[in-house]
Every structure is written in structure tokens, then in C-alpha cells.
A = this chain, B = another copy of it.
Amino acid sequence: MNFNVYCCDGQYLIIDVGITFGDDSTPPGIDVICPDISALRSVRDQIIGIVITHAHEDHVGALHYLWNKLKAPVYCTPFTASVARRKIGEAGLLDQVPLHEVLPGSRLELGCFKLEWVTLTHSIPEPNALVIQAAGRTVFHTGDWKLDPHPIEGEHYDDRRLMALGESGIEFVVGDSTNATIEGWSGSEAECRKALLEVISGQPNRVAVTCFSSNTARLASLGEIARETGRRITVLGRSLFNYLQTAKANGYLKTFPDLVPTEDLDYLPRSEQLILATGSQGEPRAAMARLAKGEHQDLYLEPDDTVVFSSKVIPGNEKKLYRLYDLLSRKKVNVVTEQDAPIHVSGHPCRDELRWMYRALRPACVIPVHGEERHMAAHADLVTDMGLGSARVVNGDVSHLSDSGATLIATVQTGRLGLSGSSLVPLNDRALSERSALADGGLVTLTVVLDKKARLATEPQVQFVGVPSGDIDPETLTGDLKYAIEDILAEQNSRTLQADDALRNALQREVGSLVRQWLGVKPKQLVNIIRL
């Protein structure tokens, strides 16, 4: 997730406010993660603006969660603004957030910052780099980019402007490292379209394609391919509808064919059907997973249909996707992935693109960002090999940009906050750790009600949640534990019986030991002592 802050003369400029997603290293039940921006709390009044470079979730996705802590005007190009507006609206903040649309190529002064939007290419419409000038320094903040000579939808990158910027003197580049370990070029959407056409035109039956919903160029290609191969398109999945609508509202997908309602699909021969479905990462509730499981309400895939994954496998989703491929194979559906044909291209610059850019910009110093450590290290090595300076920053580093490069002058607190209902909570919150314990071993609750003389007022209550009782009958198990608790209480001296903590410890120790002995497990214990 991206969150960058530039500071000059006590004024703060924020570039991108993104989220990331929970995975097997984060607490269960946390799907969305935002940056911890508490370091900005004391300077909140000095934030003069928030610029969103493009509409991907890792750049815009936290805007509606964090805007209340920033309360600054937002600037972005129209397509990005449409996406941001939908999120802000869902959060009920439409009246509050000043959202300013800026055209690609614009210039704008925000306090002491002079900004220029520079059009690049990526895998979503309107990806922008920013030239940031302040205090006599010039920074080229790339955002996410690649050099696509045939981007299909949206503007081309402006190589003359990039070279002119190099002439006029770019001192610093803060740049995308995602593909810095990969030699060559990332490839063009046009090549991808060619491969998709080849795959789809070879299919005798129904074809269902899944790709990232925000990749408007890919959707445009599929629209053209549908026309060329005599197929009609139906769309499954809300995020595809949203992005199609947003793209059209912003002047993209002008020639995209009219959709066929899914319920009318059966009137067409299978050879004339092209289905666009959400869920390229195997998301269990998305359309593709439901198609694979045969659980989609409107459509059943049949033997010799073809499913095309026009997408990469995002690390962490491999097994989920392999399971989908397998479900589809069992239905005798052909599965085509980027392993089989070049039907996906990355949106990030490979090493030759990085070299091209730095030859054009000729920066004094490159600061690699946006990638794992090994990507940023490879990026820095490439820069060094080109004879340019580089500086490394990690989350929380505050660097001073000067003639001598980027110098670390401070570090501030950063971190990750998980979205739990309507709250943002630190991922190390005790309650979230408890969840992991509950997940691993379940829970047993013990409740004892004691009268004024610390005698049981009624029989103890025992309840297991998430603890399989195996071969033991559950009622026998809880019954035996109730008797055991009565025995344990009978064995305590009166001081222990009067002290909640001591009594709780005794119960936990003894009951824990019995449960371990009987079931071989150690569930979390919740002991509730109620005194009348």
C-alpha cells in the first residue's frame, strides 16, 4: 500500500492513500489493511493536499477510511476521481471531501509545491507521474508505470516531455521497483490482445475470460475480439460492471459492444458467447469461483467450454487458483493461463524500461519504492550500474533531499491498521491475537455462580466452542467437567474461594489439564466467576 508525504516549509503534501489486503501472515478476519498515519496527527492542519496518482486500490483504496484524519483537498485525474467518488460516497463523505479533477498534463501550485502531472502507461486508465518542485528541488514521483508503445486505451506516454524534463534537470526520482528483478520489457497490451485473439478464435464453444476489472485496455481488447470472432459479451460480477461504467463515463471503451443480459445467453449458440467474469485471483465469492464450483445462478459451464485467465497469479493466491483450475478441469472445461499463452502483461517497468526512463530523466539520485526488499535492492543496483546515485528508504524514514542526495534525518512511527467493522485497529491488537488462538484451538467457557459463603449456588456451566469432542459424546464431556469443577471447588481453601484471581487460576489449571488429557487439545479458557 502506498502513502507518501513530501514536506516543505511546514507544508505537507500527500501522494496516494492506498490499502493492502490481509493474508496468511495477518490476523484472521482482517481483509483490508490501511497505513497507520498517526505520525501526521500533530501536523494535520498543515496538510495542503492529497494527490492520487491512479485508481488502483493500493493507491486510492484507503482514502475514504483515512480522510477524516487528513481533511485536506484531494486532486486527481477524472477517471481516478470517478473511482474515488464511488468510495467516498459509500463512506457517506461526499459532502465533505473536496475532490478536484485535474487533467492529465496539468500544472498546479499547492502552497510551496509546484506540481506537474505527467502521463505514463500502466494497467489502468490515467496513470500519472508527478513532477514535484519545492524549495529549489525537483522530484519525479513515478507512481506505477510501464512503457507501453500500444496501450490500446488512454494516452500514450509522452517521451518528448520526459526527455525535456531530463534536460531541465530532475534531481530525484522516487520510483516503482515492482519488476526491477526482471530483464527486458514488460510487453504491450497490443501483444496481449493478439495472443488473446489467437486463443479465443481457436475455441469452438463458450469462452469465459477473467482479468483485473480495472484494466480498461484489456476490456477494450476483449470487446474487439468479441466482434472479430462473432461473439456477444455478457458480464458477471459487480466490479466489472462498476469499472465498465466508470470507463465509459470517462470517455473510454467508446466502441465496446453492447452487453447481452446473462439470462438471454442461452438464445445464442455456445460458439457465440464470450463471458467476462470477475475473480481472476480465485476470490471465493467472485463470479469465476462460482462458475468453477457450478454455483453461479445464471450460468453453467459445460465440457469443452474454455476459461481464460488473462491475469497474473498474485503471490499468495497460487493454491486457491490451482484449486479453481482443478474444479474446471473436472468439468472438462479447458483452462488457459499465462503459462500457456502470453495473455497477460504486467503494468510495471522491467529493467530495460527503468534504464530507458533514467536515460531520459538523468536524475542525480533514484529512491526505489513500491516493491519487496529484493525488488528495491535490484532497482538500486541497476541505478548504480548506470552510474547514478541511489538512496534507500524504508517505511517511516524521513529523508532530507539536498545537493548531496537523500539523507535520513528522522524516523517516524508507521505501521499497519486492520479494518475491523468500522474501526481501524493495530494488527498486533490483543483482541486480534486472541482470534488466532481461538482459530487454532477453540474455546471452553466455565461459569460458576457462588453464594455469599463461596458455595456453588447452582451447577457449574461448561460450554465448548470450536473444540471437536472426537469420539467422546459432547454431553458426557461437559457433564464430567461439571463434576470435576465441583470437586475442584471442594478442594480449595476458603482464601482461594474468596479471591477471584486465585480461584480462576485454579480452575484454569485443573480443567485445562483434564481437557488436555481427554481430548489432547488446549483450547482457550474463559472462566466467569459470578458472586451473588
Contacts and interface: CB of A to CB of B under 8 A. Distances in A.
B431 A464 contact: yes
A470 B421 contact: yes
A319 B436 CA distance: 19
A195 interface: no
A316 B466 CA distance: 25
A273 B25 CA distance: 32
B469 A431 contact: yes
Contacts of A521: 420-421
Interface stretch (A226-234, A254-262, A438-446): A438-446
Contacts of A319: 23-25, 315-316
A530 B530 CA distance: 11
Interface in A24-66: 24-25, 28-29
A443 B530 CA distance: 19
Interface string A324-349: 01110110000100000000000000
A330 B423 CA distance: 32
Interface residues of A, number: 66
Nearest to A426: B468
Contacts of A440: 28-29, 435
Interface string A460-478: 0101111111110000000
Contacts of A524: 465
Nearest to A440: B29
Copies of this chain: 2
Given A329-B377, A424-B470, A443 B458 contact: no
A244 B265 CA distance: 62
A322 interface: yes
10 contacts: A24-B319, A330-B373, A420-B521, A421-B521, A423-B470, A434-B465, A435-B440, A447-B447, A449-B530, A458-B530
Nearest to A435: B466
Contact of A24 (B320, B434, B464, B470): B320
Interface of A: 23-25, 28-29, 315-316, 318-320, 322-323, 325-327, 329-330, 335, 372-374, 377, 420-425, 429, 431-432, 434-443, 445, 447, 449, 457-458, 461, 463-471, 516, 519-521, 524, 526, 528, 530-532
Given A29-B441, A439-B435, A528-B461, A470 B420 contact: yes
A447 B445 CA distance: 11
Contacts of A421: 470, 516, 519-521
Contacts of A320: 24-25
B449 A465 contact: no
Given A316-B319, A445-B445, A447-B528, A423 B519 contact: yes
B449 A532 contact: yes
Contacts of A315: 318-319, 322
A532 B458 contact: yes
A468 B425 contact: yes
Contacts of A519: 420-423
A505 to B, nearest CB: 17
